[in-house]
Amino acid sequence: MGPTLDFLTLLPYASELLQGLTTTVMLTVVTTLTGLTLAVAVAYLRVNGQPWVRWGLSGYVEVTRNTPFIVQLFFIFFGLPGLGIKIDAITAAFIAMTLNLAAYSAEILRAGISATAKGQLEAGRALGMTTLQSYRHVVLVPAFARVYPALISQSIIVMLGSAVVSQISVFDLTYAANFIQSRNFRSFEVYLLITLVYLLLAFGMRRSFMLVGKRVFAYQQGEQR
Amino acid sequence: MTLVYVDNVHKAFGDLEVLKGINLSVAQGEVVAIIGRSGSGKSTLLRCLNQLEKHDSGKITIADKQLDAASMSPKELSENVGMVFQSFNLFPHKTVGENVCLAPLVVRGEGKTEVEKIAREVLEKVGLSDKYDSYPAQLSGGQQQRVAIARALAMRPKVLLCDEVTSALDPELVGEVLRVLEALAAEGMTLILVTHEMGFARDVADRVVFMHQGRIHEEGAPSELFSNPQTPELKQFISAVL
């Protein structure tokens, strides 16, 4: 008799799976919002901030983009207590994911901002707007629209990367799977299942982003002539 | 009454001296057309008038107030000087109405109902009141430029600067924009236009200023200037463009 698939063996662990799924979704939703918001601030300040602010932020962006996510996570969770900063696992996961998404997205956004026609900023200035007002009302939405597909992908990458937070015992989807297969030894079934769940989450995320984009960037529909 | 006064203004980009001492005064209600070859400094002069370029030396005053960062805030400047660009520069993600309302709301801090009323008035003036809820991408170039004019007017500037506002338009759309400017001129709006539309300069402008190599080379009433140019440079320019 060859190997058999028995998904019913996972049924007793439904509540663990659900808890894991909830954590993953919750972490993703919150960090996507905070990460992208922080990215806007970072992108703005990297262009318009004081020299020392620009310098500091380049440091943050470069360190984040050139080191492994798991090391960043370990540094925050295991490293920072050495400085007397103690953070619980879920908060550490939240901070690491936010900082990671913000660093990458800030670079993506910066490209979108610099592609915005100089004329748009001049029009803002000619109308008496400050740089901050011009960014807020004139530059931001078209810049977002321009790089939106890249931002969607980046957010999905961070969602998928969140599997790593199971390593600091955050009870996410991957942690649930590890936990279940250590009890019932049905590793094939459980990992197949969560693979499908991650796949669906990624599809769902892309779809939700597209729906939001269609509303927010509705102005572009007239451009397709 | 002198509204815009330019006194010995110089401007250089690096080693390139673009304005070599400009003197110009524009009266309230006057329409001044600035003509000249590309590179003669006419756009730079216009951009100095609303400080998109800061002049290096000399003095510019608008309604007797000096125009520099120390004596005039961006808000105050925008209430004195409006500008319309060659490439429209409308905000693509905002409707026509929102384009027009944005600066009065954000910069002047006026109330929404009042601003919307003004927006409808200025859009009526440029003949586009039915496009209030359209997006720029849904409009023709001529319509977009008229929205840009309305957007500038919504700040109720004392003088409107027009930087080659018909140069990016298809020939058949030029007329509708020029008619709007003509109507503004007839209403007594002070206009300073950099233009390649010699017909318009001749018919509508009170005065034509010919710039050459960073200086005002010749100026005068359009009838005189076009029919009886004094300098060889202007003669050559006119024969080239007419």
The pLDDT value given to residue A10 = 84
A126/B135 touch (CB, cutoff 8 Å), yes or no? no
Residue B83 touches chain A, beta carbons under 8 Å? yes
Q: What is the pTM of this model?
A: 0.86
Task: With cut-offs at 50, 70 and 90, classify the pLDDT of residue A184.
Answer: confident
Nearest chain B Cα distance for residue A98, angstroms: 28
Identity (one letter) of the amino acid at B178? L
Task: With cut-offs at 50, 70 and 90, classify the pLDDT of residue A222.
Answer: low
The pLDDT value given to residue B137 = 92
Nearest chain A Cα distance for residue B74, angstroms: 5
Q: Which among B77, B87, B138 is the nearest to A128, CB-wise?
A: B77
Evaluate whether B214 touches B40 at the Cβ level (below 8 Å): yes
Task: With cut-offs at 50, 70 and 90, classify the pLDDT of residue A225.
Answer: very low
- Please list, in sequence order, all residues whose beta carbon lies within 8 angstroms of the beta carbon of residue B22, skipping any fewer than 6 positions away: B6, B8, B9, B10, B41, B45, B58, B214, B215, B216
The pLDDT value given to residue A12 = 87
Task: With cut-offs at 50, 70 and 90, classify the pLDDT of residue A221.
Answer: low
The percentage of residues in chain A with a pLDDT greater than 70, rounded to a whole number, is 96
B106-137, pLDDT tens digit by residue? 999 999 999 999 999 999 999 999 999 999 99
CATH topology of domain A7-223: MetI-like fold (1.10.3720)
What does the pLDDT average to over A42-63?
95
Q: SS3 of B211, please?
A: strand
A54, A177, B29, B71 from B49: Cα distances, Å: 32, 68, 17, 14
Q: Write out the residues of chain A at the interface with chain B, using a CB-CB cutoff of 8 A.
A: 117, 119-120, 122-123, 125-130, 133, 137-138, 141-142, 145, 217, 219-220, 222-223, 225
DSSP letter string over chain A? ------GGGGGGGHHHHHHHHHHHHHHHHHHHHHHHHHHHHHHHHHHHS-HHHHHHHHHHHHHHHTS-HHHHHHIIIIIGGGGT----HHHHHHHHHHHHHHHHHHHHHHHHHHTS-HHHHHHHHHTT--HHHHIIIIIHHHHHHHHHHHHHHHHHHHHHHGGGGGGGT---HHHHHHHHHHHH--HHHHHHHHHHHHHHHHHHHHHHHHHHHHHHTGGGGGG--
A220/B89 touch (CB, cutoff 8 Å), yes or no? no
Nearest chain B Cα distance for residue A126, angstroms: 6
Q: SS3 of B198, please?
A: helix
A114-150, pLDDT tens digit by residue? 887 788 999 999 999 999 999 999 999 999 999 999 9
A137/B151 touch (CB, cutoff 8 Å), yes or no? no
The pLDDT value given to residue A224 = 42
- Quote the mean pLDDT of chain B: 93
pLDDT reading at A1 higher than 60: no
B152/A126 touch (CB, cutoff 8 Å), yes or no? yes
Q: Which chain B residue is nearest to residue A124, measuring alpha carbons?
A: B103
pLDDT reading at B39 higher than 60: yes
Task: With cut-offs at 50, 70 and 90, classify the pLDDT of residue B148.
Answer: very high
A141/B82 touch (CB, cutoff 8 Å), yes or no? no
The percentage of residues in chain A with a pLDDT greater than 90, rounded to a whole number, is 81
B51-61, pLDDT tens digit by residue? 999 999 999 99
pLDDT reading at B71 higher than 70: yes
The pLDDT value given to residue B114 = 95
Q: Which of A1, A4, A21, A11 is nearest to A184 (CA)?
A: A11
Question: Which B positions 138-157 lie with beta carbon below 8 A of chain A?
Answer: 138, 148, 151-152, 155
Task: With cut-offs at 50, 70 and 90, classify the pLDDT of residue B236.
Answer: very high
The pLDDT value given to residue B2 = 92
B20-33, pLDDT tens digit by residue? 999 999 999 999 99
pLDDT reading at A5 higher than 80: no
Q: Which among B52, B107, B134 is the nearest to A129, CB-wise?
A: B107
Domains annotated on chain B, with CATH = 1-70+158-242 (3.40.50.300), 90-156 (no CATH)
B164 vs A84: CA distance, rounded Å: 64
What does the pLDDT average to over A216-224?
71
Task: With cut-offs at 50, 70 and 90, classify the pLDDT of residue A223.
Answer: low
Q: SS3 of B3, please?
A: strand
**In chain A, where are the structural domains located?**
7-223
Task: Collect all residues of chain B within an 8 Å Cβ-Cβ radius of residue A214.
Answer: none
Nearest chain B Cα distance for residue A37, angstroms: 20
Complex confidence, ipTM: 0.91
B52/A125 touch (CB, cutoff 8 Å), yes or no? yes
